[in-house]
Each structure stands twice: as C-alpha cells, then as structure tokens.
A and B are shown apart, each in its own frame.
Chain A
Amino acid sequence: MSNKELEPLQDPGLPAHAHRKADHDEAAANRAERQVAILFLLSALGTVLFIYSYIFIENNIYIYIPILGNQHAQQLFLGLGFAIALFFIGAGAVHWAKTLMSDTEVIAERHEMRSSDEDRAALIATVKEEVGAVGLGRRSLIKRSLALSLGLVGISPLLLLRDLGPLPGDVLNQTTWAEGVHLVTDPGNRRLRPEDLEVGAVAHVLPEIEDPEHRSLNSIAKDALLLIRIRPEEFRLDAERLSWTYQGIIAFSKICSHMGCAVALYEQTTKHLLCPCHQSTFDVPTGAKVIFGPSARPLPQLAIKVDDAGYLVAAAPFNQAVGPSFWERKK
C-alpha cells in the first residue's frame, strides 16, 4: 500500500538541546528577570491610567488624535489603560516562560485509542449480561409501551412552542390600503395633491390612519409606498396598469419583492429603483420590472386616483401580497 519497502532516510533523532544564555549565565538570567519585572510594572501603570481615566476624565472631553480623528478622551484612555494592563501581564508571562523557565523538550509516549481486545470482549460480555438481566428481549410489552411513551413525551415540548406566534392566516395578503384611503407623506403625515409632485420627484408615502402617532411597525412594513412622477407618455404599461396611474404618478410598494428591504434609492435620470440590500433594480416606466439583481418579481403597483377634494387616494387595495415571497403566495 505504501512505498515503505523503499528505504527512507534515517531519523536522526531529536536535535541536541541548545541552551539559552540565561541557562548558564547568571547575569543574563538576572537581566531577564528584570525585563519580566518591567513588563509587569508596565501593566500596573496601565491599571493606574485606567483608574485615573475612570474617575478624573470628564465625560464630555474630546481630543484630536492624528489618524484617529476626534476621540472621546475618557473612553480612549480607559481603553488604552485597560489594554496596557492586560497586554503586559501576558507579555511578561510569556517572556518569563521563554527566558527563564525550563525549555527542555520532553518526549511522551502515545497509545493507540483502541481498547485492547480483552477489554472490548469484557465490555460486550458485561453489557450482554446486564441487558439480559433486564430482560427487554423477553418482555416485549414493556419495550413497546416504553417506546410509545418516550415518543409521545417528545411531542409535548414541541406543542408548548405552539403559542410562539399566531397562524399566518391571510394577513400577509392584506395591507391598510383600500379604495379611498388617503396617501400621506412619511414623515409629516400630510395629504398629497398631484401638483405636490413635480415630474422626476419621488415621495415616501403611508396610508392615512386615525392615530398616526401609534402606527405599528407591522403595518408600516407592508403599507410603505413610493410615489414617483414621470411624464405620462414615458410609461410602457398595458391599459389596465396605466389606469392605475394618475397624470404620470405611479405608486409602488416600497418593500422589496426579494427580501423585504426598503427600496429607497431612486435614480431620476435612468428612472430606476434600487434596493441597497441586494441591488435588485426595478425599471419604473415598465411597472417596476426587474432589470438587474436577484429579485424575481416587479414591485407590486397600487392603483391610485384623486378624490373630490383633489387629494391622492388609493383606487383599490393591492392586487397581490407585498414584500418577500412565501410558500402560499398567490402569483
């Protein structure tokens, strides 16, 4: 199996031990001792710096350090003191070990991990004897009922986790948007008229609710919209999708159809929306079609119109679930 038959080079054995200077020279040993002591004393100085910084440096002092820039003085010197205190204990100990402690290499024998055949046989005999004494082989009723009860008892911890959360139900398909819900700015909570948006502008929008101070993050995470205005003739949409826009204003879900990050970057010149998380890029004139990146679906579009007072409102709820995909999602 191996080429052992070809005679390999001889093992010359462990090289002779080379003594260090401190092993035979008393002066060198004393010098090493002093070096170790100096390292330990440096550590002590570090702790002094640490204590001084903790007690005497005010919390509001900033100092300028080249390269590092403006630094919070207390935090900086606390840290430096701490680092010095710790590092030099270590440096001292290692230097001590390297210069003064015995550096004679020692050889220890290894033994194969495998137990001896006698031990193995003895173990098997013992186990067989003991298992035999329990009599599981004969008492199959006990064996089976024990297996049943052990299996069942394993279910209970899983069951106990049931109340970790509600069942999904249909909530992922629902948002606050419905016909007539006003679009309001985020932040600011002001209603929007079409003329508030110039061509090329983008607005971050949420649905108007009764208590905007206590909007839940859960609803924000599904309701957030991007409102973008381009020239109406630039749209390349079918008649239905075009009817969801209003005078060049188009509304998309701001929650990425890939993994749910906020698609917050709009490039005005190319009319692309970019998700900073994974760089899915959506083309606004074609209805947020994916033109680059890992997302597989366009951003859902919300149908909008204006109400009698001239404010932008939703014309209908989203026709699909917003945000990342999930198993039960309808196409």
Chain B
Amino acid sequence: MKPARERIAGSVANFVDERTGAAKFLKKSLNKVFPDHWSFMLGEIALYSFIILLLSGTFLTFWYVPSQEELIYEGSYVPLKGVKMSAAYSSTLDISFDVRGGMLMRQIHHWAALLFLAAMVAHMMRVFFTGAFRKPREMNWILGVALITLGIVEGFLGYSLPDDLLSGTGIRIAQAILQAIPLIGTYAAFFAFGGEFPGLDFIPRIYTVHVLLLPGIMLGLITVHLMLVWYQKHTQYPGPGRTEKNVVGYPLLPVYMAKAGGFLFIVFGVTAFLGAVASINPIWVFGPYTPTQISAGSQPDWYMGWLDGLVRMAPPIETYFFGKTISWNILIPGLIVPGIMFTGLALWPFIEAWATGDKREHNLLDRPRNTPTRTAVGAMAITFTIVALINGGNDIIATHFSLTINQIMWATRISIFVLPPLAYVITKRICLALQRADRDLVLHGRETGRLVMLPHGEFVEIHEELSPQEAFTRTSHEQLAPIPVAAIDANGVRPKGVLKDRIRARISKGILQEQIAKPTAKEKLELGGGHH
C-alpha cells in the first residue's frame, strides 16, 4: 500500500491527465534543458520585476483615487493640511502616510519600475551584443523592442498618476509633444485631454491605460516572448561540447526551477529592501500640480531622461509656412529621432542578415569581440543615449560640478555628433585587439611571469599552454567572408540590380573584411604552443 500522500497525488494527476493529456507534455517539459549563464538572468529580472509591479500595483489601486476632483487635504501630513489639491494627489498622500505599508508599497512599485526598465535594457544589450537576435529569433527581438517601448510609456504614465507638481510638469511636456504633431496634433491633444490642458480627464484616462490596457498588452507579449524562448530553446555560449545542434544545461526540474523560483524571491527581496530604506519620488515635497508653479531641477525618471536631454539640446527651430506652424525643436528630438532609433532597433536583425548575407539559423552566441562591427554599432547607440541622458540631467550636473548649463548644453550638443562615431571606431579597434589577443593566447599560451635562463645565457619566459577547452572556446567561431561583388559579364553588361548588390557587397566588406584570422589546428601544431 502506497502512503496516502502518494495516492492523493496520483489520483489528482490521473484526473488532470485523463481530461487534458498533460502527462505527455509535462514529461517532455520537465526535462527541458536550460543553459546556465549569469547574463541569462537579466531577462529573468525583468520578468520578476514585472510580477512585482503587478502585485504592488494592485495593492496601490485599492486606495488610489483616479480623479482630478478638487478637495481640501485633511490627512496626517501636516505641511499640506488645508491645501487645495486633486483627489489623486490626496489619495497618494493617504497611501504614503495613512495606510500601513502604503509608503513601502509605493516605493517598491517605483523601484521595481526602474528595475524593470533597467533589466529590460540590460537584457536587450546582452541579446544584441551576443547576436541572440539572429534567425530564428528575430520575432522575439521585435517583441522585446515592443516591450521596452511600452515599458517606457507605462513607466511615464505611472509616475504621472500622483498628480504632484513634478508629474504634472511631465504631462504638460507630453501634451506639448502631442500638440506639435503636424496636421493632427491639436486635435490629438484635445481628444487625449478632453479639451485644453490640463482639463479634468487625463488622470482617469491614463489610469485606465496604466492599470489595464498597457499591462494587459504587455502580459500578452511577455507570454508569447517566453513561449517562443521555450519552443525555440535557449541560445548558449560557445564552448567545448556545445554546438548549433545541441543545448547543454540543467533540466527544468529541479535545478532550474529552484534557481529561477529562488531568484524571483531574491529580486522581490531586493526591491523590498530598496523600498524600505531608499526614498524615491517623495511627492509630498513637490506639492500638488498647478500650471503656474515649477520646481528647479525637474527631472524625469532615467528611462525618459535621454529623451528630455535630446529635447533640451534641440536647436530653436520653428517654421511657419502657408499659415501653418511646425515646431522642429519638439518634433526632431521628441518624435523623429526616437522614431528612427526604435525602428532601427526593431529592424536590426534583418539589416544585419542582409548586410552579411548570413541567413542561417544560429543557436550558438557570438562573443562580442568576434563581431566587431555589430559591437561597435551597439557602443555607438549606447554612447548617443548616454550623452543625451547627461544633458537630461544638465541642471543637476551644473549645480553639483559648478558648471554652467550653457557649458554642458554646448558640450553635449557637440558630443552627440562626435562621440558616437568615436565610440564606433574605438570599439571596433578594441574588438580586433581582443581577437589578436585570443590568437596569441591560443598559439603561444599564457604568460606565466616565470623567467628561465637557458644554458647559453638567454632568458625566456615560460608560456603556459591553454587547455584544449579554452583554446576551442576561443576559436570555435566562424569567420564569414564578405559577399563577392557581382562581376560585369564579358559583354560589359551589368547584371540586373547591380548597384544594389554593389552597395551590399561594399557594406559586407566593411563589416567582414577586417578580422584577425583565427588560428587553425595546423598553425597550432607547428608552433607546438608554449615552447619558444
């Protein structure tokens, strides 16, 4: 006779399986193999902070009042007693000061939002620099770009809900961007705000979008994102025993489940710790929103900061043609540049596949040094964003480092054009230098620092040969050759589409020609490694 526990488990399992056939699926799934690497946890952090956001956000909705109805504050925060404010702001004060654990939850929610965006961006960088977006994972890359875009909007709407002075200022700026769209802008702004700015409608409206519409869409996208990871199997770093055709790692049960589940609690614990000790968005300091007031040093959250920095550095250009006004100073930094950046980001897998002519499936990741051009493009984009972000905080930097805003503004206006190309060139050189270092290591081994005097008096340093595993890891990558240029045939006739092909061949040459030849088995054998 089996113990009771086992009998009950057995009959439950039987019940479910007879109705769903789940055993077949589960048997396969529980043995699913996941490769292990610290950088694969970045996406996990994003997922877990999303879960934390859903939980803490639900808590906040129990007390938050999404209304701009005006009332007199009577809560327990003394400095604001008797002040006229919106129900939204007043209820946020109540959550902070009169609901036990309310302040904690607000701060956990805000910290988790910052972490969510940071983890998504870090995860995206990992995927970009290792080439994990390549076929067959282009769709998942696009889903990821969509999630980051929605995450930025969701975060912005979230910190706008308290209706404090700082968030109202952010909404004012968003309204101005909307209003600056040619042709339809004024109408779009009037529809979004129910009339003129600020009106009485935007808080209830962005509330619905923030707690229902966007989280719903994001939940859907995340589900598909994970299902694709599951179905296509995770990529893995190159190394001994790892090929394009296999996946090496730990089975889902029990190791991966325990680690991933444990990690959820760790992330939750860390955000709770931050929420407990690190004050964030102290809305009671700012006061309620009114269009005539503002605080110096108005800063958005970091994921909006680079956009704000672009807006700050934009040249003061506005055109007036045929009786119509176009604000280039808003459109270029607020819509056009971010539009180009995000479109380029989403299309990158296809751009790269076109430029290199590599349309095959890839399950082994690239080491960033082995794809210098991609790595350099990424460094360029990051540099651009960081320069913009610095200008987004120019007022804070000015006061902290005794600079003038004008100095920082001009420095970033120039840097945004100069530094990204510079970052490109430097990164590419570093990658090639690292390739060279890999080649040296594989062929000549590691410098040990041990000097030996030979009988005839010569000093040599002993080189220690790499293990076969290490040597393989450093040489297992494939080095593609550039796409050949289509030749003009004997009669001097250009093949159809030759110009396009030539451009493409030229680009692929730029990407692929410059690389350090990896050592071959023959070279290694000849040198023997370590003995010279």
In the bound complex, do residue A86 and residue B269 qualify as a contact, i.e. CB atoms below 8 Å apart? yes
In the bound complex, do residue B196 and residue A172 qualify as a contact, i.e. CB atoms below 8 Å apart? yes
Q: A244-262, CB under 8 A of B: which get 1 and which 0?
A: 0000000000110011111
A151 interface hit (Cβ, 8 Å):
no
B457 interface hit (Cβ, 8 Å):
no
Q: Which of A90, A186, A323 contacts B268 (CB 8 A)?
A: A90
Given A164-B192, A277-B169, do A7 and B277 touch, yes or no (CB 8 Å)? no
Q: A317-331, CB under 8 A of B: which get 1 and which 0?
A: 000000111111111
Given A11-B241, A12-B469, do A221 and B196 touch, yes or no (CB 8 Å)? yes
Chain A residues with CB under 8 A of B4? none
Chain A residues with CB under 8 A of B269? 83-90
Q: Which of B244, B270, B293 contacts A264 (CB 8 A)?
A: B293
Q: B130-153, CB under 8 A of A: which get 1 and which 0?
A: 000000100000000000000000
Please provide the chain B residues from 157 to 192 with a CB less than 8 Å away from any CB of chain A in the complex: 169, 172-173, 175-177, 179-187, 189-192
Q: Tell me, in angstroms, the Cα distance from A165 to B475 when the chains sit together.
A: 63
In the bound complex, do residue B187 and residue A279 qualify as a contact, i.e. CB atoms below 8 Å apart? no
A38 interface hit (Cβ, 8 Å):
no
In the bound complex, do residue B263 and residue A90 qualify as a contact, i.e. CB atoms below 8 Å apart? yes
Chain B residues with CB under 8 A of A86? 265-266, 268-269, 272
Q: Which of B262, B275, B517 contacts A93 (CB 8 A)?
A: B262
In the bound complex, do residue A220 and residue B292 qualify as a contact, i.e. CB atoms below 8 Å apart? yes
Q: Which of A171, A217, A260, A290 contacts B175 (CB 8 A)?
A: A260
In the bound complex, do residue B33 and residue A107 qualify as a contact, i.e. CB atoms below 8 Å apart? yes
Q: Tell me, in angstroms, the Cα distance from A279 to B173 when the chains sit together.
A: 13
Chain A residues with CB under 8 A of B173? 259-261, 277
Q: Which of B183, B189, B290 contacts A220 (CB 8 A)?
A: B290
B343 interface hit (Cβ, 8 Å):
no
B521 interface hit (Cβ, 8 Å):
yes
A234 interface hit (Cβ, 8 Å):
no
Stretch of B218-226, B322-330, B497-505 at the chain-chain interface:
B322-330
CB of A79, distance to nearest CB on chain B (Å) = 2
Stretch of B10-18, B120-128, B311-319, B373-381 at the chain-chain interface:
B311-319
In the bound complex, do residue A12 and residue B240 qualify as a contact, i.e. CB atoms below 8 Å apart? yes
In the bound complex, do residue B479 and residue A90 qualify as a contact, i.e. CB atoms below 8 Å apart? no
Given A92-B262, A97-B262, do A218 and B195 touch, yes or no (CB 8 Å)? yes
Count B-side interface residues using an 8 Å CB cutoff: 124
A166 interface hit (Cβ, 8 Å):
yes
Closest to A89 in B: B265
In the bound complex, do residue B327 and residue A324 qualify as a contact, i.e. CB atoms below 8 Å apart? yes
Q: Tell me, in angstroms, the Cα distance from A328 to B156 when the chains sit together.
A: 28
Chain A residues with CB under 8 A of B216? none
In the bound complex, do residue B240 and residue A68 qualify as a contact, i.e. CB atoms below 8 Å apart? no
In the bound complex, do residue A68 and residue B258 qualify as a contact, i.e. CB atoms below 8 Å apart? no
Q: Tell me, in angstroms, the Cα distance from A324 to B189 when the chains sit together.
A: 12
CB of B495, distance to nearest CB on chain A (Å) = 19
In the bound complex, do residue B265 and residue A79 qualify as a contact, i.e. CB atoms below 8 Å apart? no
Given A13-B241, A106-B250, A108-B247, do A325 and B100 touch, yes or no (CB 8 Å)? no
Given A9-B471, A165-B195, do A330 and B323 touch, yes or no (CB 8 Å)? yes
Chain B residues with CB under 8 A of A97? 254-255, 258-259, 262
Q: Tell me, in angstroms, the Cα distance from A161 to B101 when the chains sit together.
A: 39
Chain A residues with CB under 8 A of B254? 97, 101-102
CB of A263, distance to nearest CB on chain B (Å) = 8
Q: Tell me, in angstroms, the Cα distance from A258 to B325 when the chains sit together.
A: 13
Stretch of A122-130, A140-148, A291-299 at the chain-chain interface:
A291-299
B383 interface hit (Cβ, 8 Å):
no
Chain A residues with CB under 8 A of B472? 9-12
Stretch of B294-302, B414-422, B425-433, B447-455 at the chain-chain interface:
B294-302
Chain A residues with CB under 8 A of B276? 75-76, 78-80, 82-83
Q: Tell me, in angstroms, the Cα distance from A94 to B36 when the chains sit together.
A: 13
In the bound complex, do residue A325 and residue B262 qualify as a contact, i.e. CB atoms below 8 Å apart? no
A8 interface hit (Cβ, 8 Å):
yes
Chain A residues with CB under 8 A of B258? 93-94, 96-97, 101
Closest to A68 in B: B277
In the bound complex, do residue B290 and residue A9 qualify as a contact, i.e. CB atoms below 8 Å apart? no
Chain B residues with CB under 8 A of A172? 186, 196
In the bound complex, do residue B294 and residue A87 qualify as a contact, i.e. CB atoms below 8 Å apart? no
In the bound complex, do residue A331 and residue B250 qualify as a contact, i.e. CB atoms below 8 Å apart? no
In the bound complex, do residue A294 and residue B316 qualify as a contact, i.e. CB atoms below 8 Å apart? yes
In the bound complex, do residue A259 and residue B330 qualify as a contact, i.e. CB atoms below 8 Å apart? yes
In the bound complex, do residue A290 and residue B316 qualify as a contact, i.e. CB atoms below 8 Å apart? yes
B456 interface hit (Cβ, 8 Å):
no
Other A-B pairs beyond A15-B240, A221-B292, A327-B186, 11, CB < 8 Å: A75-B101, A79-B272, A165-B195, A220-B291, A221-B197, A259-B177, A264-B294, A278-B308, A279-B394, A323-B197, A330-B323
A-B contact pairs, 28 of them (CB 8 A): A1-B481, A3-B481, A8-B518, A9-B442, A12-B472, A14-B242, A59-B98, A74-B100, A76-B277, A79-B277, A80-B276, A83-B276, A87-B266, A93-B265, A94-B266, A102-B255, A106-B33, A106-B248, A108-B31, A161-B191, A166-B194, A167-B187, A218-B198, A258-B329, A259-B172, A277-B294, A325-B327, A330-B323
Residues of B within 8 A of A (CB): 31-33, 76, 98, 100-101, 103-104, 107, 136, 169, 172-173, 175-177, 179-187, 189-199, 201, 232-233, 240-251, 254-255, 258-259, 261-270, 272-273, 275-277, 290-298, 308, 311-318, 320, 323-327, 329-330, 333, 357, 361, 363, 394-395, 405-406, 409, 442, 468-469, 471-472, 475-476, 478-481, 517-522, 524
Residues of A within 8 A of B (CB): 1-4, 6-15, 54, 59, 68, 71-72, 74-76, 78-80, 82-94, 96-98, 101-103, 105-110, 112-113, 161, 164-168, 171-172, 186, 204, 206, 217-218, 220-222, 224, 254-255, 258-262, 264-265, 276-280, 290, 292-297, 323-331
